[in-house]
Amino acid sequence: MRRSIKTRLAVATAALVAGAAILVLGAVYAATVSGLRRDTEAAARGELESLLGTWRTGGLGALVGEVGRRGSDPASHHFAYLVAEQHSVLIAGNLRAWPEADTEEIGAGPVLLEVRRADVWLSGSYRLESARLGGGRELLVGRDASEETHLVETLQVTALGGLALSLLLAIGAGLAMSRRLLGRVEGMRATIASILGGRKDRRVAVSAAGDEFDELASQFNRLLDENDRLVVQVRDVTNGIAHDLRTPLQRMQGRIEAALAAPSTSPDTKRVLEALTTDSGRLLEIFNGLLQLARLESDELRRSMQRVAVETVIRGLAELYAPLAEEAGFALRVAAPPGLVISADRELLAQAVANLIDNALKYGGGGENAITLEARRAEGGVEIVVADHGAGIAEAERERVLGRLVRLDASRGIPGTGLGLSLVAAVARLHGGTLRLEDNRPGVRAVLWLREAADGATTGDSA
């Protein structure tokens, strides 16, 4: 499944921000928890050192007295104390029993203990410090870690909330950034699509920001201008050649026809003149086609477009070509439902479809002797389809045959100029449509797609 750049950019931004947030919040969390633990352990260790000082100066009796005093003093309610012998004989303190943890494990983390507070036994988590007094006796001091635990839990909730908020902000920022950046790209794409649809005068908008997108747009516009200049130059040369050669060819053809009509012309000479007439006629047909292509590639014909009912065009061509198809041994199958209306030049549309039918009659033999002519509603427009069951066109050649004067090797022996499909493609571009060639298995299916006309206006047909 393909994901759009907008989605990928938003996900990448969110992932980057989330990673940075995890690193920062993780570092803050680790530092804070470590600091809280150090403070608790330092308090327990300081209390232990204080009691050890009492033991060193006054012995066990002084230590027991001090432990008893501190165990009952409300000012020391955060601490737990115990003096015991062999962990089982309790000498003094406010703990019910020596912790079950081994001596080596006492400083590893908080331990759950029962501590007497004003003749009430309460459970709580304590960080412990211990010291050996000699003779099997030990001193144990615990510092209440409930505040540390509460702060750690609060910090966890805060960190998770901060991470979630960071993700939401990152996704929002990623979507906003991608919308802003890709909005420029979408504008360029729409302009290019419009240019490909026939609006040769369109150019990509350049803002006043002067950023990389504007530089790209400026370069692209320069490329379009240069391309237009070259196209116009080539078209002018082609048109000039066609105009300059058409008149001498017409004169030559007139003189040949006059020589054919002369009584003094011998039969052998007439045969040569008839061949010359055919050749000159074909040359004139090519030049006329080139001039018509040049006219189609200019925008002057757009002004003659009107709403055209496709059914009337299809039915009219079917009536015109039915006798020719029957004479060539083809059955012409027609399907054109009413209600399909496009904005077009009726004569150009009819000529384009007629060219496709001519091609089908010329090259559609060798398979099922039937030609299909149909119109149907397609996504966003109307498709006019002409299909045959001939030898077909290889997929690699289908785009090439839409060019000017292109004839495949298999069609060299059949009369033609190589301009038929290029004229149809030019008509399609003039109308903002497309021409595509598909495999009809066997044969060719030529699909002319044109935009459907907007509602609200009347057609230029009388049907």
Question: For residue 27, what is the domain's CATH number?
Answer: 3.30.450
Instruction: Work out the pLDDT band at 367, boundaries 50, 70, 90.
Output: low
Report pLDDT digits (tens) over 422-436.
888 888 887 788 888
How many residues are listed for the chain in this entry? 463
Closest CA to 182 of 23, 60, 5, 26: 5
Identify the CATH number of the domain in which residue 381 sits: 3.30.565.10
| Segment 179-214, tens digit of pLDDT | 777 677 777 778 877 777 666 777 887 877 777 777
Same domain, 331 and 219: no
Which pair of structure tokens corresponds to residue 44?
């327990």
The verdict on 380 and 445 lying in the same domain is: yes
* 156: helix, strand or coil: helix
Domain end among 110, 127, 151:
151
Bigger pLDDT: 394 or 373?
373
Domain assignment present for 185: no
Predicted confidence band at 285 (pLDDT cuts at 50, 70, 90)?
low
- CA–CA gap between residue 291 and residue 236 (Å, rounded): 10
pLDDT confidence bin for 292, thresholds 50/70/90 = low
* Structural element, H or E, at residue 31: helix 5-72
Question: Rounded to an integer, what distance in angstroms lies between the CA atom of residue 126 and that of residue 78?
Answer: 9
Domain boundary among 105, 131, 151: 151
Mean pLDDT of 113-123: 84
Q: Structure tokens of 245?
A: 């050669």
Domain count within the chain: 3
Q: Would you state the structure tokens that stand for residue 321, as one six-digit string?
A: 């070509």
Q: Identify the pLDDT of residue 77.
A: 80
Is 457 part of any domain? no
Residue 16 lies in a domain: yes
CA distance 183 to 205: 12
Check whether residue 364 and residue 434 sit in a common domain. Answer: yes
Bridge partners of 85, per DSSP, are 89, 137
Taking only Cα atoms into account, the Rg of the chain, rounded to an integer number of angstroms, comes to 47
The residue-averaged pLDDT of 300-310 equals 73
Of the pLDDT bands very low, low, confident and very high (cuts 50, 70, 90), residue 438 is confident
- 403 and 324 belong to one structural domain: yes
* Pair type for strands 331-335 and 370-378: parallel
Rounded CA separation 79/388 (Å): 98
Same domain, yes or no: 427 and 358: yes
Same domain, 64 and 24: yes
The reply to whether 463 falls in a domain is no
Place of tokens 């966003």: 380
Q: What distance in Å separates the CA atoms of residue 81 and residue 67, rounded to the nearest whole number?
A: 7
The reply to whether 76 and 18 lie within a common domain is yes
Of 267, 297, 327, the last residue of a domain is 297
Same domain, 284 and 316: no
Omega before residue 337 within 30° of 0, cis: no
237, part of any domain:
yes
The verdict on residue 78 lying in a domain is yes
Q: Which domain holds residue 74?
A: 5-151
Q: Is residue 116 part of a domain?
A: yes
Local structure of 53: helix, strand or coil: helix
Model confidence pLDDT, tens digit, residues 345-366:
888 888 888 888 888 888 776 5
In the three-class reduction of DSSP (H, G, I as helix; E, B as strand; rest coil), residue 119 is classed as coil
Q: Do residues 258 and 276 make contact, with C-beta atoms less than 8 angstroms apart?
A: no
Are both 276 and 345 inside the same structural domain?
Answer: no
171 belongs to a structural domain: no
Residue type, 97: A
Locate tokens 């006219």: which residue?
295
Quote the DSSP letter at residue 203: -
pLDDT in tens, 217-269: 888 888 888 877 876 776 677 666 666 666 777 777 777 777 777 787 778 78
Q: What is the pLDDT of residue 462?
A: 40
Give the pLDDT score at 455. 61
Residue 447 and residue 308 share a domain: yes
- Tell me the CA end-to-end span of the chain in Å, nearest whole number: 47
At 125-139, the pLDDT tens digits run 888 888 888 888 889
Q: What is the dihedral of CA 152, 154, 157, 162, to 10 degrees?
A: -100
Closest CA to 447 of 431, 423, 428: 428
Rounded Cα–Cα distance for residues 458 and 81 (Å) = 101
Domain co-membership, 314 together with 422: yes
Q: What is the CATH number of the domain that holds 258?
A: 1.10.287.130
Instruction: Note whether 373 and 249 are same-domain residues.
Output: no
Work out the pLDDT band at 322, boundaries 50, 70, 90. Answer: confident
